[in-house]
A and B are shown apart, each in its own frame.
Chain A
Amino acid sequence: MSYNVNEKGYYGEFGGAYIPEMLYPNVEELRQQYLKITAEPDFIKEFEQLLKDYVGRPSPLYFAKRLSEKYGTKVYLKREDLNHTGAHKINNTIGQILVAQKLGKKRIIAETGAGQHGVATATVCALMGLECIVYMGEIDIERQAPNVARMKMLGASVRPALSGSRTLKDATNEAIRDWINNPVDTHYIIGSAIGPHPYPDMVTRFQSIISEEIKWQLQEKEGRENPDYVVACIGGGSNAAGTFYHFLDQEQVGIIAVEAAGKGVNSGHSAATSKLGKVGIIHGCKTLLMQTPDGQITEPYSISAGLDYPGVGPMHAHLAQTGRAEFYSVTDDDAMESGLELCKLEGIIPAIESSHALAVLKERKFKPTDVVVISLSGRGDKDLNTYIDYFKL
């Protein structure tokens, strides 16, 4: 079985491009060009150079000694939090801004939830001197104020999404509407492994640097390329897609995706799509999606803005349906405790999104000899206010 996208843009039954005709020329241009552009030697050279000199890659693969002792297994952390701008998101925005330049686009739009993708997009736009407009839910603008300020400092204009739940889903709607209204000069940098084909595959390929590095770094440290498990948190699923990519066809590597249960899977305040979702269409792709029996998309909830999304990328829907990946749902409380635990045991303040992935150590038993690589997708600076409120610091 293949876990990668087929030539029509599907992962099993998931994916495709369910878009209004107004978006067709842009999406089709991208579909025809993305593999060609990203295979050109000068593209590869520039992409790799920027990842090294600007982002600071390779990101370390860090053996977390005290965390390992506590849970009786060998835990490695893939330190995406040490990237420039503080998360994995920049891997993709570097790639897409280079694609946008090759396509001759002058104006960049993006959606953002936690603000990490917005900051990463604003950053590469500043780097390349392109106009940048970031759509962000009004609620997220309130709870991620430092990232809003960062985007503004980087020269981006941040536009609030005022419809629906005023979070990531609605920011994505607004970005899509902007693209409909500006069909010629604009490129839409989607930040997650979602959207119409070729976005899920393109984003996954740019993020796949994460698993590519894990392989040679683990070879150096453990004398083998494959860990026993790779673990990542999943909202739309970009860091998870990049963390899993080079292990998808290595059946001996266990794949663990951790989604946000919010206040509990059945509490009515959750973003646990693998448990609560049904097949449907959101933001241009067929995937698992939280919705009413009538097909209206429901409002998700998570303490973490980056996981507060009612769907998952189509690749992940396929991994869930085929059983290739184990899916865990972690509550706000468990994630927050795991985040604090990492601070105390390892001196690392993680993003709340990444704290969900860490919580799997409590949820699931690993053997002492297991090598477990957890993607530490982002740093917790942006979440300081949430941590302060939650722990009454």
Chain B
Amino acid sequence: MNRINQKLQEDKKILSIYFSAGYPNLNDTVQIIQDLEKNDVDMIEIGLPFSDPLADGPTIQASSTQALHNGMTTQILFDQLKDIRKSVNIPLIIMGYFNPMLQYGVENFCKKCAEIGIDGLIIPDLPVDVYADQYKATFEKYGLINVFLITPQTSEERIRFIDSVSNGFIYMVSSASVTGSQTGFGNTQEVYFKRISNMNLKNPQVIGFGINNAETFNQATQFAKGAIIGSAFITHLTENGTGKIGEFVKAIQ
């Protein structure tokens, strides 16, 4: 069974952490993954940097730009990760924009992910319709779970369609925003979280965007299986380097 599905079956709330590969330094990738696992994080999203990250706010944009400046490429990331399964067992997801994958070749990209032991992908600008038409078979051939986003504006019909195409979890964007721009959740979010929770979807939901501390993590996981922290972790890396990852994680859990 895919490590993501296995993890989602555990009777606990999932903490997933996002970071940009190659940030703060080009070769920090493996160390960050190992430290996150050691500190009981449940799932990791490895950001594949892109020059034009449309759905990201300033924090992730800046880390992505720095990672590219440090020399990160798709091939270097794969090279860094080639032995990762010798040291960690945590579910690993690559999150990135579609163009770098397209240039690597979608089939090659998926094949390489399978060889390394990547469990899933999140590609914000690959729409579910195009995926279902053109790429689903390839992803499934290599045992990769593709994760789709929904937002407060996504219609019920479309959520049902996304649920039918998904086989891991649904990434619930907490509010209409790019990454890193929310401070705290209000009544609007709670109504939305409850609404989705009551739809009884076949895939569990994990909430992302705007989760930055224990309070928002707890609010989100009241209504969902888990939550994802990205920008807040990047900010922590910017301020503290890779030395104090444990402190960050403990403050959330």
B149 engages A20 (CB within 8 Å): yes
Cα–Cα, bound, A243→B172 (Å): 44
Residues of B near A169 (CB, < 8 A) are 52
Interface flags for A170-193 (1: CB within 8 Å of B; 0: not) read 000100110011111000000000
List residues of A (19-50) whose CB comes within 8 Å of B's CBs: 19-22, 24-25
Segment among A128-136, A278-286, A327-335, A373-381 that sits at the interface with chain B: A278-286
Contact (A163, B125) CB under 8 Å given A22-B151, A291-B103, A295-B74: no
Residues of B near A295 (CB, < 8 A) are 50, 74, 99-104
B69 to chain A, nearest CB (A): 11
Cα–Cα, bound, A289→B51 (Å): 13
Chain A CB count within 10 A is highest, among B50, B52, B124, B130, for B52
Residues of B near A180 (CB, < 8 A) are 54-55, 176-178
Contact (A280, B125) CB under 8 Å given A163-B61, A177-B54: no
Residues of A near B101 (CB, < 8 A) are 295
Residues of A near B55 (CB, < 8 A) are 20, 22, 177, 180
A7 to chain B, nearest CB (A): 13
Instruction: Tally A residues with Cβ within 8 Å of B.
Output: 34
Cα–Cα, bound, A283→B178 (Å): 15
Is A16 located at the chain interface by the 8 A CB criterion? yes
A21 engages B173 (CB within 8 Å): yes
Cα–Cα, bound, A25→B3 (Å): 32
Residues of A near B124 (CB, < 8 A) are 20-21
B154 engages A21 (CB within 8 Å): yes
> Chain B: which residue is nearest A296 at the CB level?
B51
Partner of B52, one of A16, A21, A164: A164
> Chain B: which residue is nearest A180 at the CB level?
B178
A294 engages B73 (CB within 8 Å): yes
A282 engages B178 (CB within 8 Å): no
Cα–Cα, bound, A18→B131 (Å): 10
> Chain B: which residue is nearest A298 at the CB level?
B51
B74 engages A282 (CB within 8 Å): no
Is B57 located at the chain interface by the 8 A CB criterion? yes
A181 engages B176 (CB within 8 Å): yes
List residues of A (248-290) whose CB comes within 8 Å of B's CBs: 278-284, 289
Interface flags for B65-103 (1: CB within 8 Å of A; 0: not) read 100100001110000000000000000000001111111
Cα–Cα, bound, A25→B128 (Å): 13
Is A17 located at the chain interface by the 8 A CB criterion? yes
Residues of B near A283 (CB, < 8 A) are 52, 54
List residues of B (92-144) whose CB comes within 8 Å of A's CBs: 97-104, 124-128, 130
> Chain B: which residue is nearest A286 at the CB level?
B102
What interface size band does chain B fall in? 35 or more
Residues of B near A183 (CB, < 8 A) are 151, 153, 176
Cα–Cα, bound, A383→B73 (Å): 39
Is A64 located at the chain interface by the 8 A CB criterion? no
Residues of B near A296 (CB, < 8 A) are 50-51, 68, 100
Interface flags for A282-311 (1: CB within 8 Å of B; 0: not) read 111000010101111100000000000000
Partner of B99, one of A16, A177, A297: A297
Contact (A25, B150) CB under 8 Å given A18-B130, A20-B124: no
Residues of B near A17 (CB, < 8 A) are 127
Is B148 located at the chain interface by the 8 A CB criterion? yes
Is B198 located at the chain interface by the 8 A CB criterion? no
A281 engages B151 (CB within 8 Å): no
A25 engages B153 (CB within 8 Å): yes
Cα–Cα, bound, A17→B101 (Å): 17
Contact (A22, B149) CB under 8 Å given A176-B54, A180-B55: yes
A21 engages B51 (CB within 8 Å): no
Residues of B near A20 (CB, < 8 A) are 54-55, 124-125, 149
Cα–Cα, bound, A163→B58 (Å): 9
Is B158 located at the chain interface by the 8 A CB criterion? yes
A55 to chain B, nearest CB (A): 32
Interface flags for A221-252 (1: CB within 8 Å of B; 0: not) read 00000000000000000000000000000000
A252 to chain B, nearest CB (A): 37
Chain A CB count within 10 A is highest, among B55, B101, B127, for B127
Cα–Cα, bound, A281→B104 (Å): 13
B173 engages A22 (CB within 8 Å): yes
B214 to chain A, nearest CB (A): 26
Residues of A near B153 (CB, < 8 A) are 22, 24-25, 183-184
A294 engages B125 (CB within 8 Å): no
B117 to chain A, nearest CB (A): 22
> Chain B: which residue is nearest A183 at the CB level?
B176
Partner of A18, one of B65, B103, B125: B125
| A-binding residues in B (CB < 8 A) | 50-52, 54-55, 57, 61, 65, 68, 73-75, 97-104, 124-128, 130, 148-151, 153-155, 158, 173, 176-178, 181
A-B contacts, 28 of them at CB < 8 A, read A18-B126, A19-B125, A19-B127, A20-B149, A21-B124, A21-B127, A21-B173, A22-B173, A22-B177, A24-B127, A24-B153, A24-B154, A164-B51, A173-B52, A177-B55, A180-B55, A181-B176, A183-B176, A184-B153, A280-B99, A280-B103, A281-B125, A282-B52, A284-B125, A291-B99, A295-B74, A295-B103, A297-B99
| B-binding residues in A (CB < 8 A) | 16-22, 24-25, 163-164, 169, 173, 176-177, 180-184, 278-284, 289, 291, 293-297
| Further pairs besides A20-B54, A22-B178, A281-B125: 18, Cβ < 8 Å | A24-B154, A176-B54, A177-B54, A180-B177, A181-B177, A183-B151, A184-B176, A279-B102, A280-B102, A281-B98, A281-B99, A284-B125, A293-B103, A294-B73, A294-B75, A295-B100, A295-B103, A297-B52
CB-based closest 5 A-B pairs: A295-B103, A295-B100, A21-B149, A296-B51, A20-B124
